[in-house]
Chains A and B, each alone.
Chain A
Amino acid sequence: MIKITNLHASINGKEILKGLDLEVKAGEVHAIMGPNGAGKSTLASILAGREDYEVTEGSVDFDGVDLLALNTEDRAREGLFLAFQYPVEIPGVSNVNFLRTALNEIREYRGQEQIPAKDFLAMVKEKSKLVELDAGLASRAVNEGFSGGEKKRNEIFQMAMLEPKLAILDETDSGLDIDALRIVSNGVNALKSDNNATIVITHYQRLLDYIVPDFVHVLHDGKIVKTGPKELALELEEKGYDWLK
């Protein structure tokens, strides 16, 4: 699904990723853990195509496509989705309106017909149920005045609507109480299939009780310094990260 090789990236001349390797196959769930400032969000942003970062070395193959050669929107159209650590508020632009635009532009890119209005509304209804997002929130302006938890649920709602091949969830658990955590995780698990994959970025083990990873990676100082089975998360919870330095 995705193969990241020797990725180096910097921002404002400061190197953040220092030769990162990672491979995720279809049907897998990978967790990336690591202390604050390790470069987890940077990795997510670079994969999503944020232009502030400069990739100085390395490559990313996304299902046969050179991901780094694509602009942000084309990466999404190829099936990449990023659930933001800090979702952005967009005044006045309604969730539903923007998702319809997104779906239709993705479909156009793939040479598909526009989605019929009826199907779209049915989909909104079904998918908002999945993350128990209030029907009212779906039609409100994107994230405007949403609580922290609502914003995170809205990210997963969007993920459900767009049905990506690869979803990267950046600290989706932060700021969630236990109920919201369960709802969000159920949503993510329900979307899981043999044809898609998920990268879960977190620095709490808690989330991984709900979204069970096939592999856990530790990102430290711009590199993956350790990879292990799901039990590694428990070990990290106990011992912290210092022993890996």
Chain B
Amino acid sequence: MEVLDNKITKFREGLAKTNLSFREESLKYAEDTLTELDFPTTRVERWKYTRVAKIANTQFSSRKDVVKQLNLPIQDAYTVVLVNGYFDKELSSKNLPEGVEISATSQSANNLLGKVATIKNEVFTALNTLYATDGVSLRIKAKTIVDKPIQLVHVITGENTIATVRNVLVSERFSEAEVVQVFLSENANASFTNNVSEIIVEEGAKLVLDKLQNESESNFHYSNECVQQASNSNFKINTITLNGGLVRNDLTIDVDGENCETHLNGAYILKGKQHVDNHTVVNHLKPNCHSNEMYKGVMDDQSTGVFNGRILVSKDSQKIEAYQSNGNVLLSDSASINSKPELEIYADNVKCSHGSTTGQLDDEAIYYLRTRGISEKSAKALMVTAFISDVTKRMDNDKVVEYVHNQLHDRFGWDF
């Protein structure tokens, strides 16, 4: 495989090996991956449109820090805060409800680490395994219905900081919970968040994960969510990228049980020189399931987006309904998007569809709105916000949606 001239050795030099209780085989697999591979170039298919040279060429270091005031989406939540990948006891909720266990991954006797996140040949995930400083371990006990959202806050601070975070989320049988994961930065510049979450949704459980990315425009961010769904479970993930310089989201969902529902919603709203890449995989391994995916992007200035959505339906997975759509609006001539849906269907009795659209705002519509006394700027805002609302309408938590709208208002001047 094509590699950059061994940047990875240098990259690893300043980093301390993880203390988390990974299984031996996970560590070995990660080590082998990094011995064999360097950072991906655009010749690697999965990284065709995303250049990581800026990450590869930066000497990052890990450091602890404290933060004070945080602007969080939800005030009334069970909140856990990590700063630069280290658990912050002070800022985290002390009282947890019955049936919810939250701890630092470093403090949990966890035998799941490395079990779910098994993407092959993935350098950033391997780095995460070898250098994770800490993370959140969350377990919703069987049949527990959590009364408030659980808010996981990841803050990164300082210059060239690296935060390597490893989370394990388990929704036990017939439990119900909503997790809001927020990524923020405080005085951060060219720092790097590497976040891997292993997520298990057991039989009959329901889990909603709102993932809000709102780091500074100079930050790098790699995320990998690996999800396993058991039968009769319901999993929804809303990935909203509000800010960040170079963002790559890998999301892989193995639907390994019958009668599951899976929802993947995403929005990326970019300007300047931002680059955001969403790679999603829905792997239908069992029959009688339903998945629905909608990602929408708005790109202004010279920003670039990538959407790659794969749906796999294995040979014996009959009666699958899988829908996917990706819509993009380019607000400037210099903005661009690479959108690629990939359906691989080996069963014959399935309903699958996908669609991808890219365009600019309709000039006729802008003119029409202007003839009613609306400025060009407001006309565009009305149309863009309507476009993004298709995604936010699918989100359950009004407070989270309000946060998203407020952030977009501050960043783009749009009113929802």
Could you tell me which A residues sit within 8 Å of B by CB distance? 48-51, 71-73, 75-77, 81-82, 84, 87-94, 97-99, 101-103, 105-106, 109, 141-142, 158, 162
A-B CB pair tally, cutoff 8 Å: 78
Determine the residue in chain B with the shortest Cβ distance to A102.
Answer: B372
- Give the docked Cα–Cα distance between A162 and B370 (Å): 13
Q: Which residues, 371 to 391 on B, are CB-close (under 8 Å) to A?
A: 371-376, 378, 382-383, 386-387, 389-390
Whether B285 is near chain A, meaning CB under 8 Å from some CB there, is no
Q: How close is B362's CB to chain A, nearest CB, in angstroms?
A: 8
Could you tell me which B residues sit within 8 Å of A by CB distance? 362, 364-365, 367-376, 378, 382-383, 386-387, 389-390
Q: Is the CB of A101 within 8 A of B378?
A: yes
Q: Is the CB of A98 within 8 A of B372?
A: yes
Q: How close is A27's CB to chain B, nearest CB, in angstroms?
A: 23
Contact of B373 among A89, A94, A109 (CB under 8 A): A109
- Give the docked Cα–Cα distance between A47 and B126 (Å): 64
- Give the docked Cα–Cα distance between A93 and B385 (Å): 8
Q: Is the CB of B368 within 8 A of A87?
A: yes
Q: How close is A114's CB to chain B, nearest CB, in angstroms?
A: 12
Contact of A105 among B362, B374, B389, B390 (CB under 8 A): B374
Q: Is the CB of A73 within 8 A of B375?
A: yes
- Give the docked Cα–Cα distance between A84 and B364 (Å): 12
Q: Is the CB of A158 within 8 A of B372?
A: yes
Q: Which residues of B contact A51 (CB under 8 A)?
A: 367
Determine the residue in chain A with the shortest Cβ distance to B388.
Answer: A92
Given A50-B367, A72-B367, A87-B368 in contact, is the A93-B373 Cβ separation under 8 Å?
Answer: no
Contact of B376 among A73, A87, A88, A141 (CB under 8 A): A73
Q: Is the CB of A101 within 8 A of B374?
A: yes
Q: Is the CB of A88 within 8 A of B365?
A: yes
- Give the docked Cα–Cα distance between A91 and B327 (Å): 13
Q: Is the CB of B386 within 8 A of A93?
A: yes
Since A49-B371, A72-B367, A105-B378 are in contact, a sample of 12 more A-B pairs with Cβ atoms closer than 8 Å, ordered by chain A residue number, is A50-B367, A51-B367, A72-B370, A84-B368, A88-B362, A93-B365, A98-B374, A101-B382, A102-B372, A102-B374, A103-B373, A142-B368
Q: How close is A6's CB to chain B, nearest CB, in angstroms?
A: 24
- Give the docked Cα–Cα distance between A49 and B369 (Å): 12
